[in-house]
């Protein structure tokens, strides 16, 4: 199999590989220019007279793990056009290698790609691994030298801010909502700057922005021809914040109801759990000890009823000798071994685990269920087993409901997601909260209705929702509704339109990632290059 060496290295027409040598990790290719004539760079006439020969050393993309350098054997031509002031010129090899360049164009592109996916330092290390010799400064210089991509006309513009240095300086991100692409970054979030940008884009038909504020002003002045929409992402975000505040206010009501719940009601006394058993040295009984004690109680009860030893042994599941010994002792004798051993709980353990994971943490409930399946011991024994299995006190787990550890920050996520998206345990928590507080219940209904409206893009239903809020006596939601009222045209448009700034938020997340890769030290200009040229 004969392979044309020049084509193997993808050399352009007019360049021929004449020899190659390998020294260490470097592959050196001798490449000779062979074109009969070259155009004069000034008068563009083809010149045929070779005046002299010289060599250029140029780095190329690596080959099979080796660095590649080209020794280009090139020529100087004499221009024969009488009127041309240029008498002698060096032949040009563009676009393969630009004039004066010390790297091939494809190597430059490779370095740019590495730079755009990494940072200066990391890029240089990666390049070294890939047998490309470069430095962090070269990588950064290459990225800064990239020409801005041509600005395509944008009709649907999404605008939002992003933290450039968190809490200290912010920039603005502009997204083409139809192409889902960042089209520019601005160095601040001032109305003036955004306005100037929009002025230069008369083709904008729609601006999707957060509610009110600087971007609304920028759009009114910079793109007066465009319709404005309050984007759904920010509507939902603002509502979520209002709900969190409202829930934080419900905290007192929730705690009061929890205390009331803990006090047993007089007409329906709850099932009295058996008192905890303690060993003589004050430690709680292990699961085995508890089971054994239960058996002892059963033995005594059966004896009381006049049952014979053999019968007792059979019914309680013990050996006749044990029964006999217990009866003879006359009093319960503690065992003190704590090792895990086979127990009648083993058969039910998988079931209890599954139910526990499904969110059933009520021990009485679990006990009734496994009792129905044949578990012979008391709820106290089950409790002891759960302690052994889970390494925690189930009593604590059982009572540590959402009400005790109520956090508005966490609870808000139960309120804003669709009920069907919640885990079973989350659904139970949500129901508990709504049962405990009438306000929470009202908040829940209003929030869910708003999100249904957003999902179904029913901007027209907004009025009826707002009037419900006004009569709701939830001040946080009322304030939210008042804000909507002020920006109502844009809100209704935002609720009805197909686009959402959700994608702008996605882009902001990408910018964050790019920023992180740059160790947060990058200047705005570099960040802009990185984002606009992102691979
Ligand atoms: Zn010429």
pLDDT tens sequence across 285-344: 777 777 778 788 888 888 888 888 888 888 877 888 888 888 887 777 776 555 445 667
Going from the Cα of 41 to the center of ligand 1, the distance in angstroms, rounded, reads 7
Going from the Cα of 100 to the center of ligand 1, the distance in angstroms, rounded, reads 19
- Reduce the secondary structure of 496-517 to three states and give it as a string: HCCCCCHHHHHHHHHHHHHHHH
Going from the Cα of 127 to the center of ligand 1, the distance in angstroms, rounded, reads 41
Going from the Cα of 49 to the center of ligand 1, the distance in angstroms, rounded, reads 12
pTM greater than the 0.75 cutoff? no
Going from the Cα of 30 to the center of ligand 1, the distance in angstroms, rounded, reads 29
Going from the Cα of 101 to the center of ligand 1, the distance in angstroms, rounded, reads 22
CB 194 within 8 A of CB 177: no
Going from the Cα of 10 to the center of ligand 1, the distance in angstroms, rounded, reads 30
Going from the Cα of 79 to the center of ligand 1, the distance in angstroms, rounded, reads 5
The DSSP line for 438-498 is HHHHHHHHHHHHHHHHHHTT-GGGHHHHHHHHHTTT-HHHHHHHHHHHHTHHHHHHHHHSS
The pLDDT tens digits along the chain (535 residues) read: 556 777 888 999 899 999 999 999 999 999 999 999 999 999 999 999 999 999 999 999 999 999 999 999 999 999 999 999 999 999 999 899 998 899 999 999 999 999 888 877 888 999 999 999 999 889 888 888 898 888 789 988 989 888 876 667 788 989 888 888 888 989 888 999 999 999 999 999 989 888 767 899 999 999 999 988 888 778 888 888 899 888 888 877 776 666 555 544 444 444 455 556 666 666 667 777 777 787 888 888 888 888 888 888 888 778 888 888 888 877 777 765 554 456 677 777 777 877 777 777 788 888 888 887 778 888 888 887 777 665 544 444 444 455 556 677 778 888 888 888 888 888 888 888 888 888 889 999 999 998 888 888 777 888 899 999 999 889 999 999 998 888 888 888 888 776 666 667 777 777 777 766 664 455 788 888 888 887 6
Mind listing the pLDDT tens digit for each residue in 400-409?
Answer: 455 556 677 7
Going from the Cα of 92 to the center of ligand 1, the distance in angstroms, rounded, reads 13
Going from the Cα of 73 to the center of ligand 1, the distance in angstroms, rounded, reads 22
* CA distances for 290 relative to 275, 287, 326, 334, angstroms: 11, 5, 16, 10
Going from the Cα of 108 to the center of ligand 1, the distance in angstroms, rounded, reads 30
Burial level of 258, CB count in 10 A (0-12/13-18/19+)? middle
Task: Using alpha carbons, select from 80, 78, 70, 86 the residue that is nearest to residue 26.
Answer: 70
Task: Using alpha carbons, select from 162, 177, 155 the residue that is nearest to residue 501.
Answer: 177
Mind listing the pLDDT tens digit for each residue in 444-462?
Answer: 999 999 888 888 877 788 8
CA distance 180 to 377: 63
Going from the Cα of 76 to the center of ligand 1, the distance in angstroms, rounded, reads 12
Going from the Cα of 53 to the center of ligand 1, the distance in angstroms, rounded, reads 19
Going from the Cα of 86 to the center of ligand 1, the distance in angstroms, rounded, reads 5
What element of type H or E holds 70?
Answer: strand 66-78
CB 477 within 8 A of CB 242: yes
Count other C-beta atoms under 10 Å from residue 99's C-beta: 11
Going from the Cα of 378 to the center of ligand 1, the distance in angstroms, rounded, reads 106
Going from the Cα of 77 to the center of ligand 1, the distance in angstroms, rounded, reads 10
Going from the Cα of 34 to the center of ligand 1, the distance in angstroms, rounded, reads 20
Tokens coding 267: 């007409």
Going from the Cα of 58 to the center of ligand 1, the distance in angstroms, rounded, reads 26
CA distance 473 to 481: 12
Going from the Cα of 88 to the center of ligand 1, the distance in angstroms, rounded, reads 8
Going from the Cα of 37 to the center of ligand 1, the distance in angstroms, rounded, reads 13
Determine the length of the chain.
535
Task: Using alpha carbons, select from 97, 100, 94, 130 the residue that is nearest to residue 115.
Answer: 130
Tokens coding 3: 């392979």
Going from the Cα of 13 to the center of ligand 1, the distance in angstroms, rounded, reads 23
Going from the Cα of 31 to the center of ligand 1, the distance in angstroms, rounded, reads 26
- The CA-based angle 137-174-529, given to 5 degrees, is 10
Going from the Cα of 48 to the center of ligand 1, the distance in angstroms, rounded, reads 11
- Reduced to 3 states, what is the DSSP secondary structure of residue 46? strand
Q: How far is CA 221 from the centre of its chain?
A: 36
Secondary-structure percent of the chain, ordered helix, strand, coil, rounded to 5: 50, 15, 35
CA distance 253 to 250: 5
Going from the Cα of 43 to the center of ligand 1, the distance in angstroms, rounded, reads 4
- Which residue shows structure tokens 């021990």? 363
Going from the Cα of 390 to the center of ligand 1, the distance in angstroms, rounded, reads 89
Going from the Cα of 15 to the center of ligand 1, the distance in angstroms, rounded, reads 23
Going from the Cα of 96 to the center of ligand 1, the distance in angstroms, rounded, reads 22
Going from the Cα of 39 to the center of ligand 1, the distance in angstroms, rounded, reads 8
CB 272 within 8 A of CB 322: no
CA distance 488 to 492: 6
- Reduced to 3 states, what is the DSSP secondary structure of residue 108? helix
Going from the Cα of 308 to the center of ligand 1, the distance in angstroms, rounded, reads 125
CA distance 210 to 506: 15
Going from the Cα of 11 to the center of ligand 1, the distance in angstroms, rounded, reads 27
Task: Using alpha carbons, select from 442, 527, 415 the residue that is nearest to residue 120.
Answer: 527
CA distance 196 to 219: 10
Handedness of CA 356, 362, 363, 366 (dihedral sign): negative
Tokens coding 86: 């240029």
Going from the Cα of 81 to the center of ligand 1, the distance in angstroms, rounded, reads 6
CA distance 167 to 109: 36
**Residue 230: strand pairing partners:** 209
Going from the Cα of 90 to the center of ligand 1, the distance in angstroms, rounded, reads 12
Going from the Cα of 210 to the center of ligand 1, the distance in angstroms, rounded, reads 60
Count other C-beta atoms under 10 Å from residue 149's C-beta: 11
Going from the Cα of 82 to the center of ligand 1, the distance in angstroms, rounded, reads 8
Give the pLDDT score at 417: 84
Going from the Cα of 105 to the center of ligand 1, the distance in angstroms, rounded, reads 26
CA distance 323 to 314: 10
């Amino acid at each position: 199999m004969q392979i044309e060496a020049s084509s193997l290295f993808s050399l352009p027409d007019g360049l021929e590989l004449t020899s190659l040598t390998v020294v260490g990790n470097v592959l050196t290719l001798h490449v000779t220019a062979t074109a009969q004539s070259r155009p004069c760079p000034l008068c563009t006439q083809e010149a045929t007279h070779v005046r002299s020969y010289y060599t250029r050393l140029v780095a190329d993309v690596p080959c099979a793990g080796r660095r590649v350098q080209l020794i280009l054997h090139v020529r100087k031509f004499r221009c024969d056009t009488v009127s041309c002031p240029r008498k002698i010129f060096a032949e040009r090899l563009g676009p393969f290698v630009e004039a004066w360049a010390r790297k091939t164009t494809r190597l430059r592109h490779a370095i740019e790609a590495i730079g755009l996916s990494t940072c200066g330092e990391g890029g240089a290390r990666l390049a070294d691994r890939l047998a490309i010799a470069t430095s962090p400064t070269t990588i950064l210089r290459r990225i800064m030298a990239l020409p801005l991509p041509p600005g395509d006309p944008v009709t649907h513009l999404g605008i939002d801010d992003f933290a450039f240095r968190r809490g200290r300086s912010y920039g603005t991100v502009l997204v083409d909502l139809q192409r889902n692409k960042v089209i520019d970054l601005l160095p601040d979030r001032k109305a003036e700057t955004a306005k100037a940008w929009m002025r230069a884009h008369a083709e904008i038909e729609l601006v999707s922005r957060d509610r009110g504020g600087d971007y609304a002003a920028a759009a009114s002045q910079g793109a007066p021809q465009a319709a404005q929409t309050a984007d759904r992402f920010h509507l939902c975000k603002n509502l979520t914040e209002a709900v969190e505040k409202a829930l934080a206010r419900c905290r007192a009501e929730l705690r009061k109801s929890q205390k009331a719940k803990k006090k047993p009601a007089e007409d329906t006394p709850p099932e009295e759990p058996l008192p905890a058993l303690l060993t003589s040295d004050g430690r709680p009984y292990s699961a085995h000890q508890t089971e054994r004690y239960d058996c002892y109680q059963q033995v005594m009860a059966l004896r009381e009823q006049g049952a014979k030893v053999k019968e007792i042994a059979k019914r309680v599941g013990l050996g006749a000798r044990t029964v006999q010994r217990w009866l003879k002792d006359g009093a319960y004798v503690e065992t003190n071994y704590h090792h895990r051993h086979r127990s009648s709980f083993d058969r039910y353990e998988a079931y209890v685990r599954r139910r526990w994971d499904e969110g059933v943490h009520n021990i009485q409930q679990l006990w009734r269920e496994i009792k129905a399946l044949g578990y012979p011991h008391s709820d106290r024994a089950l409790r002891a087993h759960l302690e052994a299995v889970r390494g925690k006190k189930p009593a604590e787990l059982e009572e540590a409901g959402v009400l005790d550890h109520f956090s508005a920050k966490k609870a808000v996520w139960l309120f804003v997601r669709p009920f069907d998206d919640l885990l079973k345990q989350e659904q139970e928590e949500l129901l508990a909260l709504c049962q405990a507080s009438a306000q929470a219940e009202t908040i829940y209904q209003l929030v869910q209705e708003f999100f249904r409206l957003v999902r179904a893009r029913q901007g027209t239903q907004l009025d009826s929702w707002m009037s419900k809020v006004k009569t709701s006596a939830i001040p946080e939601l009322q304030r939210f509704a008042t804000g909507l009222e002020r920006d109502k045209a844009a809100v209704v448009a935002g609720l009805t339109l197909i686009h959402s700034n959700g994608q702008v938020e996605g882009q902001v997340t990408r910018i964050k990632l790019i920023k992180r890769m740059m160790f947060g030290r990058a200047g705005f200009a570099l960040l802009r290059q990185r984002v606009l040229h992102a691979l």
